Amino acid sequence: MAKYKLSPDAADDIERLFLFGIDRFGVNQATKYLSGLEIRLDQIAHTPATYPKVSHIRPGYRRSVYGVHTIYFRTIESCNQIEISRVIGREHLEDL
């Protein structure tokens, strides 16, 4: 598996964290963090089973921690793809 797609919520999460990063840390640092996040998303797509299951949060989901953010994702077998559902920082899990 080597493909992933962002849910609309995950795309919003990433945009929000990038804008926050620019505001708080500057463009260079925000861009560096975003680049690292994109590398992690590729890693998830290539080896999703290496990340822990979080079925107690939502059945079928796994998570990966990157920096101060947690990436929640699931495998969609029917199209051989990973769906990145949320990228959450210090927000509440109810947002998942």
For each of the domains in the chain, give its residue range(s) and CATH number, in order of start.
4-89 (3.30.2310.20)
Determine what percent of the chain falls in helix, strand and coil, rounding each to the nearest 5. 50, 25, 25
Answer yes or no: pTM beyond 0.85: yes
Q: In what order do the strands lie in the sheet with 81-88?
A: 4-6, 81-88, 69-76, 61-66
Q: Rounded to the nearest 10 degrees, how much is the dihedral formed by the CA atoms of 6, 9, 15, 21?
A: -110
Q: What is the pLDDT of residue 85?
A: 96
Q: Measured on CA atoms in the order 57, 70, 43, 10, is the torsion positive or negative?
A: positive
Q: What is the pLDDT of residue 89?
A: 87
Q: What is the pLDDT of residue 65?
A: 96
Q: Average pLDDT by consecutive 10-residue portion of the chain (96 residues)?
A: 88 95 96 98 95 94 95 88 92 54
